Amino acid sequence: MRPTEKSVTCVGYLSVIEEEIGQVGGLLMLNVQARPVEFHCTAPVKPSRAQEVLYGVTLQAYVTEQIAATLIAKTKLSPSFFVTDSHEVWLSQTESSIPTIFVPSTGSVSDAERIRAYGSSRTSGVGFDISGVEAFVANDRVADKSLVTDFWSEYGQGLEFCEPFERIREALAEAHGNQGGKKRVA
């Protein structure tokens, strides 16, 4: 019997990227064979000059939260957990019912260092290794760690944990007609 949509075991990969035309986000839902079952992406969000001035340093986080919330609201499937390479997305989802783990993008140690440096604050996290990748769960959601690692040991053998982000980036570039000039939003 074919499984219903809700019963499909899947994982959501969520990324927000800053491009010249604004911030764009993509959410890719993968089944246990790493094949896509859902993809949503946003149109570019570019705040006005007034918003930039008045929101100051919090603007980017705010826009990222809005993008993440919009994308998650669109999903038809309920993933076992979300993976994001955006620190802001991770912070905005720490109280969600669905576990969200944060994977600093390759070469970006600053996020990881920042999480450790926050100590016991809300933004601190517990790091763990998954498939050779440094990942974090929120400090007050340590139980999520075993959920993720158990899931990955059952389904993820031989897969590269962060590879789906590459797909999201390519898809966003394709959707917005831009093959370069983008950077991940921290």
Partner 1 sequence: MRRGPKVDCESADLTVADPVCVSISVKDSVAKLIKVTSCEFANVLQKKASVPPKEKSPDAGDSDDSANAEPNKPAKSPRKKMPATRIRPPGDTVRLEDRLFYLLQPPLETWLGNESLDFAFEPFPYQYAGVAFLYPRYAAILADEMGLGKTMQAITSIRLLLRTGEVNKVLLICPKPLLTNWRREFELWAPEIPVAIIEGAADKRRWQWGLDSVPVKIANYELMVRDQDILVDGASKFDLVVLDEAQRIKNSSGATSQVVRAIERKRSWALTGTPVENSADDLYGIFEFLAPGYLNTTMTPRSMGKAACDYILRRTKDLVLEDLPPKMFCDPMLNLTAPQQEAYDLAESQGVIRLTEMGDAATIQHVFELVLRLKQICNFDHATGASAKFDRLSADLEEVAASGKKAIVFSQWVNTLQDLSRRLKKDGHSPLEYHGKVPSSRRDDILDRFKNDPDCNVILMSYGAGSVGLNLQFASYVFLFDRWWNPAVEDQAINRAHRIGAVGPVTVTRFIMAGTIEERIDEVLQGKRELFEMMLAHAHGTEAPKSGLSESEIFGLFSLRTPRRNAA
Question: Contact positions toward partner 1, by CB under 8 A?
Answer: 2-3, 8-9, 25, 28, 30-43, 45, 47, 50-51, 54-55, 62-63, 66-67, 70-71, 74, 106, 115-116, 124-136, 145-146, 149-150, 152-153, 155, 157-160, 162-164, 167, 170-171, 174-175
CB of 98 to partner 1, least distance (A): 18
Q: How many C-alpha atoms does 42 have within 13 Å on its Cβ side? A: 28
Output the smallest distance, CB 80 to partner 1, in A. Answer: 14
Residue closer to partner 1, measured from CB, 2 or 183: 2
Q: Which is nearer to partner 1, 30 or 91 (CB)?
A: 30
Q: How far is the CB of 163 from partner 1 (least distance, A)?
A: 7
Tokens linked to 124? 């601190």
Please give the single-letter amino acid code of residue 85: D
Q: What is the DSSP string of 61-73?
A: HHHHHHHHHHHHH
Contact yes or no for 9/31 (Cβ under 8 A): yes
What residues have CB less than 8 Å from 7, skipping those under 6 apart? Answer: none
Return the number of the residue (132 or 180) whose C-beta is nearest partner 1: 132
- Decide if 103 contacts 90 (C-beta within 8 A): no
